Amino acid sequence: MKYTKKMKTKFIDIEAGKFISIIHERQAKELGIFPLDRIELTNLHTKKKIITVVDTTDSMVKKEEIGLFEDVRKKLGLRKKGEILVSPVSTPESVKYIKKKMDGNSLNEKEIKKIVEDITSNHLSQIEASAFVSAVYMEGLNLQEIIFMTKALVDGGKNLKLNKEFIADKHSIGGINGRATMILVPIVAANGLYIPKTSSRSITSAAGTADSMEVLAKVNLSMKKIKKIVNKTGGVIVWGGGLDLAPGDDKIITIEHPLNLDPPGQVIASVMAKKVSVGAKYLVIDIPLGQYTKVKTKENAETMAKKFLEVAKKMGIKCEVLLTDGTKPNGPAFGAALEAKHAMEILEGKVFDNLAEKSCQLAGALFELTGKTKKGKGYEKAVELLQSGKALEKMKEIIKAQGKKVDCSEKIKLSSKKIEIKSDKNGKIERIDLKALKEIAREAGAPVHKKAGLLLKVFEDDKIRKGQVLFEIHGENQRRLEIAKKRALKDNPIKLGEIIIAKIK
Amino acid sequence: MKYTKKMKTKFIDIEAGKFISIIHERQAKELGIFPLDRIELTNLHTKKKIITVVDTTDSMVKKEEIGLFEDVRKKLGLRKKGEILVSPVSTPESVKYIKKKMDGNSLNEKEIKKIVEDITSNHLSQIEASAFVSAVYMEGLNLQEIIFMTKALVDGGKNLKLNKEFIADKHSIGGINGRATMILVPIVAANGLYIPKTSSRSITSAAGTADSMEVLAKVNLSMKKIKKIVNKTGGVIVWGGGLDLAPGDDKIITIEHPLNLDPPGQVIASVMAKKVSVGAKYLVIDIPLGQYTKVKTKENAETMAKKFLEVAKKMGIKCEVLLTDGTKPNGPAFGAALEAKHAMEILEGKVFDNLAEKSCQLAGALFELTGKTKKGKGYEKAVELLQSGKALEKMKEIIKAQGKKVDCSEKIKLSSKKIEIKSDKNGKIERIDLKALKEIAREAGAPVHKKAGLLLKVFEDDKIRKGQVLFEIHGENQRRLEIAKKRALKDNPIKLGEIIIAKIK
């Protein structure tokens, strides 16, 4: 757009949820405006200004009109139809920086900060933001850039200021099932640490920690409330999505999602930004390794771990990274209610399986990082807190503080629509296809329906008989149960090896 | 989105110009839909299906509703409110191919064809399309890929089938001013060749050929009409934008524009696709070299020229590339009417300047390519056709066939709002800043207002006196004239060298 122009307003009685204005295609051509360009609108009476993105139409408005959605009309304080001033907005500086990255150059702190700011505030269009994400994927971020990105993400959001010395946190990169967080948080809090754990809801799995915790208590809490609970109990397990912690990260993820991009540098900055925002000083990171997890080779995991450690150091966080076995299920449950029940059973001392083991290892690592426990004794301490019932007691305290729904494994309501999948032959379980199990749970209604999911009844290396139950599917309703069953029979996620490989006479 | 769902329709009485549906944010989360995902909608009665892009809202529709814009409602043939079926659509294959390119791999013919198809039909979101354009910019296209891209762009659009032997065309890459096309086309047609020339309107310059030709005749013609005129007169000069020739190219350019990307491979495919679509068999390409032109170094121009030649050969086109001097103005005019007048003056034999020279060189190259003129005699032949008045006669024929407005330089109406910019000292003209001149013309109202522009009165190396007129600005109106004048005085686009550098006594 070359110069300022007065245009007639046309109000469009719809809230678009973002600032968009609409002009006629021919007008756009004359003014040299392209769809997704930015223009500035000025209320001629109050001089109030806002910047909107332009979309073009050949029918919604006449040539001399500019269409304003409700959000824009309100923000400009316009009541009656009339004229407004439309002015060009120059391309944001950050577009130049994006181009610089595309050309293979590294970005400095100021440049990354500006890009993150402009993405967060919607000053960059999706075309521009996508070019940045693509460039980061294709060129990578060096260590300096990851640190700048982390800082920029933190600066763009809110902070939880706890004013405590021992603030701990934990992060797991792309596992498939099992709620280690719900076991670790009470163990850690029971040892006098503070752990304000924000978690996500499921995107592609059968449940996220926030989904599972929501079976037991409220997870959609305000910053004020979170602070109060952590100060009182030492721990909290909440949904992080509504807290405005590093909001730029959410915007970047929205762009990465359709392309299924996950550049490691961006993942590290994203994780570290959330941890810095809650004030964590001690951090343990779990990278499950396996065919279906996010990080697939030990080499990649080690490279990533080193970068995590360096960024953490720079941000003043003591950090340890554990590479864990992601080839086996973390406990038998897939789905919000089933996974919550299993976590509670571990806390209640009814089970001690590989998920319990991993949770204690992670908690133990935190104990050693803080110096609360001697080197080599962290895991023992965690197991002791679990087996003594102190962790369970702490979990009940946390659940109560978060608006208790249920705090006992036996009282968790499961679906009445269940079906058992049985083995059609004798054999030994050789391999369990975690991805297929997750998909079956999703077909049954997870993660939307909390009771839907899947419960394994056998484990690797078990010898089984024909007719023995392999797993239960819990369905949202009969229809979805049938769909999930069909999928289960088709995908056959439990692979048997023959006990007798050959008979030689 | 995981499974099919019935939803209540809410009609939104607006034509969006594309297929968009709107669902509530919470519903989107539950269904696992992200903004810009695609979903399929089915009319439950007629079974009519369409694919739309999803946008999310927290206010426009209720959770159980799906908002349908007029375009979608009509296409689905829905009359009354009711329910429709909403189904997941899997990610297009082409997203995988985009990722492949991002990972540094070359794409094959099928993959490029699919990407172009999906961009053309809006099956790819702007995020995905931008990732492709970014990858092409960052990784480049190899020769094979340029050829595949050319074919894919051609296949996606219409073709002009002239059924003639000698179909010629010309293309100029990013010059600043001067309408060589309007001189070359009648010269070429006067020699018995067929030249169906499609041109663009200005995006960043003071005028495009289509803008300038529109001063003399209609340029927005149908394919049928173009065919008829070329068959009769041998030539046509029209706007190519509305003809659906290689429409994928226009979509890709829309994505490149905000990032100001111009990857050479894509430029070559874009040019060649348009030429193949009009059936050109002989092609001359003009690459102006200069500080302000698109191609800045001889080395880059030569690399580009070689690729042009190879792609042309593969597409069965005889091609020659001329690198021309883009440091000096191509004639004195900037702006649609002024440039049209200057071109007509050349055809009328009133002027023979560097623009006339270049036009004859380009036409001569075409004559030699076709074999109509002996090697080394093409330029002479072109000059002869120009000086004999045959080219002027042909131009008048073409103008008449295209719906004549005016066909004589003296009858072209210029602006009555003019201002002269004079030199404030004696000196010798050392350098003319073409970019500044173009910007002054645009400030005066070009390219939107055809009479607005700038006319140079001096040339490089001229010795001038204080007070001598350097150039005239022609304004859309008095206000814009003032703005342009201010810019002219500030930018000072005509640089004088001192005639006397020093006085030594």
| CATH number where B377 lies | 3.40.1030.10
HSE value, Cβ hemisphere, 13 Å, CA-based, for A473: 30
Q: Which strands, in side-by-side order, build the sheet including B453-456?
A: B333-334, B453-456, B469-474, B418-422
Q: How confident is the model at residue B196 (pLDDT cuts 50, 70, 90)?
A: very high
Chain A residues 428-457 with CB within 8 Å of chain B? 442-443, 448
Exposed e or buried b for every residue in A465-478, given b needs 16+ CB within 10 A? eeebebbbbbbbee
Is B10 part of a structural domain of the chain? yes
- Separation between Cα atoms, residue A85 and residue B173, nearest integer Å: 36
- Minimum Cα–Cα distance from B33: chain A residue: A203
B130 with A135: Cβ contact below 8 A? no
pLDDT single digits (tens) B29-47: 777 787 777 899 999 999 9
Is A248 part of a structural domain of the chain? no
- Minimum Cα–Cα distance from A59: chain B residue: B15
Question: What residues in B contact A58, CB-CB < 8 Å?
Answer: 17
- Separation between Cα atoms, residue A47 and residue B500, nearest integer Å: 54
CA torsion angle B445 B448 B449 B451 (round to 10): 90
| CATH number where B104 lies | 1.20.970.10
How high is the pLDDT of residue B497? 83
A258 with B138: Cβ contact below 8 A? no
- A386 with A307, same domain: the answer is yes
**What's the Rg (C-alpha) of chain B?**
26
- B308 with B178, same domain: the answer is yes
**Which residues, 6+ apart, have CB-to-CB distance to B406 below 8 Å?**
B215, B216, B412, B413
Question: What residues in B contact A98, CB-CB < 8 Å?
Answer: 259
pLDDT single digits (tens) A53-83: 888 887 788 999 999 988 899 999 999 889 9
Nearest CB among B99, B138, B259 relative to A127 is that of B259
The residue to which tokens 């979170």 are assigned: A226
How high is the pLDDT of residue A242? 81
The residue to which tokens 């450690």 are assigned: A309
**Candidates B89, B122, B134, B448, partner chain A, best to mutate (most A CBs within 10 A):** B134
Question: What residues in A contact B138, CB-CB < 8 Å?
Answer: 102, 104, 134-135, 138-139
Question: What residues in B contact A442, CB-CB < 8 Å?
Answer: 2
Q: In Å, how far from its chain's centre is CA B182?
A: 16
| CATH number where A423 lies | 3.90.1170.30
Question: What residues in A contact B29, CB-CB < 8 Å?
Answer: 201
Q: How confident is the model at residue B90 (pLDDT cuts 50, 70, 90)?
A: confident
Any CB–CB contact under 8 A between A130 and chain B?
Answer: yes
Asked if pLDDT for residue A497 goes beyond 90, the answer is no
- Minimum Cα–Cα distance from B124: chain A residue: A258
How high is the pLDDT of residue A20? 86
How high is the pLDDT of residue B1? 63
- B102 with B196, same domain: the answer is no
- A398 with A422, same domain: the answer is no
**The two structure tokens encoding residue B493:** 């686009």
Any CB–CB contact under 8 A between B32 and chain A?
Answer: yes
Q: How confident is the model at residue B468 (pLDDT cuts 50, 70, 90)?
A: very high
- B114 with B33, same domain: the answer is no
Any CB–CB contact under 8 A between B498 and chain A?
Answer: no
- The DSSP-derived string for A186-253 is HHHHHTT-BEEEEE---SSSS--HHHHHHHHS-----HHHHHHHHHHHSEEEEE-TTTTSSHHHHHHH
Average per-residue pLDDT in chain A?
92
Chain A residues 193-232 with CB within 8 Å of chain B? 201, 203-204
On whether the CB atoms of residues B311 and B274 are closer than 8 A, the answer is no
Asked if pLDDT for residue A90 goes beyond 90, the answer is no
Count H helices and E strands in chain B, helices first.
Answer: 18, 18
On whether the CB atoms of residues B78 and B71 are closer than 8 A, the answer is no
**What's the Rg (C-alpha) of chain A?**
26
Positions of B annotated as catalytic residues are 262
On whether the CB atoms of residues B128 and A259 are closer than 8 A, the answer is yes
Q: How many domains does chain A have?
A: 4
Q: Is A81 helix (H, G, I), strand (E, B) or coil?
A: coil
Greater confidence (A99 vs A34) lies with A99
- A367 with A395, same domain: the answer is yes
Chain A residues 138-167 with CB within 8 Å of chain B? 138-139
Vertex B428: Cα angle to B427 and B433 (nearest 5): 110
The residue to which tokens 């013919």 are assigned: B109
How high is the pLDDT of residue B499? 67
On whether the CB atoms of residues B206 and B441 are closer than 8 A, the answer is yes
- How large is the ipTM? 0.85
End-of-domain residue from the set A71, A88, A105: A88
Question: What residues in A contact B443, CB-CB < 8 Å?
Answer: 2-3
- A401 with A332, same domain: the answer is yes
| CATH number where A46 lies | 2.40.40.20
Q: Point out the least confidently predicted range of A312-316, A353-357, B279-283, B500-504.
A: B500-504
A102 with B138: Cβ contact below 8 A? yes
Domain that residue B397 falls in? 168-240+265-409
Is A249 part of a structural domain of the chain? no
Asked if pLDDT for residue A176 goes beyond 90, the answer is no
Q: How confident is the model at residue A122 (pLDDT cuts 50, 70, 90)?
A: confident
Asked if pLDDT for residue B2 goes beyond 70, the answer is no
Partner residues linked to A93 by β-bridges: none
B35 with A138: Cβ contact below 8 A? no
On whether the CB atoms of residues B373 and B364 are closer than 8 A, the answer is yes
Nearest CB among A15, A127, A135 relative to B138 is that of A135
Question: What residues in B contact A34, CB-CB < 8 Å?
Answer: 254, 257-258
Is A215 part of a structural domain of the chain? yes
Q: What are φ and ψ of residue A167, in 5° steps?
A: -100, 120
Is B153 part of a structural domain of the chain? no
How high is the pLDDT of residue B233? 97
- A186 with A273, same domain: the answer is yes
Asked if pLDDT for residue B65 goes beyond 80, the answer is yes
End-of-domain residue from the set A26, A55, A88: A88
Is B370 part of a structural domain of the chain? yes
Any CB–CB contact under 8 A between B183 and chain A?
Answer: no
Q: In Å, how far is A194's CA from the nearest CA of chain B?
A: 31
Asked if pLDDT for residue A291 goes beyond 70, the answer is yes
Q: Point out the least confidently predicted range of A174-178, A363-367, B185-189.
A: A174-178
Q: In Å, how far is B386's CA from the nearest CA of chain A?
A: 35
- B32 with B77, same domain: the answer is yes
Average per-residue pLDDT in chain B?
92
pLDDT single digits (tens) A214-254: 999 999 999 999 999 999 999 999 999 889 899 999 889 88
Question: What residues in A contact B35, CB-CB < 8 Å?
Answer: 254
Q: How confident is the model at residue B12 (pLDDT cuts 50, 70, 90)?
A: confident
- B192 with B108, same domain: the answer is no
Residue A103: how many other CB atoms lie within 10 Å: 11
Any CB–CB contact under 8 A between B61 and chain A?
Answer: no
Positions of A annotated as catalytic residues are 262
- pLDDT exceeding 90 applies to what percent of chain A? 75
How high is the pLDDT of residue A28? 84
Nearest CB among B12, B102, B125 relative to A134 is that of B102
DSSP class of residue B297 equals -
Asked if pLDDT for residue B354 goes beyond 90, the answer is yes
CA-closest candidate to residue A382, choices A232, A176, A170, A240: A170
Crossing angle between the packed helical segments A109-120 and A93-102, to the nearest 10 degrees = 120
- A228 with A282, same domain: the answer is yes
Asked if pLDDT for residue A279 goes beyond 80, the answer is yes
Q: Where are the beta strands (DSSP E) in A365-461?
A: 418-422, 427-432, 453-456
Is A505 part of a structural domain of the chain? no
The residue to which tokens 């592609």 are assigned: A204
- B284 with B353, same domain: the answer is yes
End-of-domain residue from the set A69, A88, A107: A88
**Which residues, 6+ apart, have CB-to-CB distance to A42 below 8 Å?**
A48, A49, A84, A85, A87
Reported as type and span, the H/E element at residue A380 is helix A378-387
B131 with A135: Cβ contact below 8 A? no
Residue B492, by phi and psi: left (phi above 0), alpha (psi -120 to 50) or beta? left
Chain B residues 258-287 with CB within 8 Å of chain A? 258-261
- Separation between Cα atoms, residue B176 and residue A454, nearest integer Å: 67
Nearest CB among A15, A36, A59 relative to B258 is that of A36
Is A161 part of a structural domain of the chain? no
**The two structure tokens encoding residue B378:** 């093409």
pLDDT single digits (tens) A12-57: 877 776 788 999 988 887 777 877 778 999 999 999 999 888 888 8
How high is the pLDDT of residue B116? 97
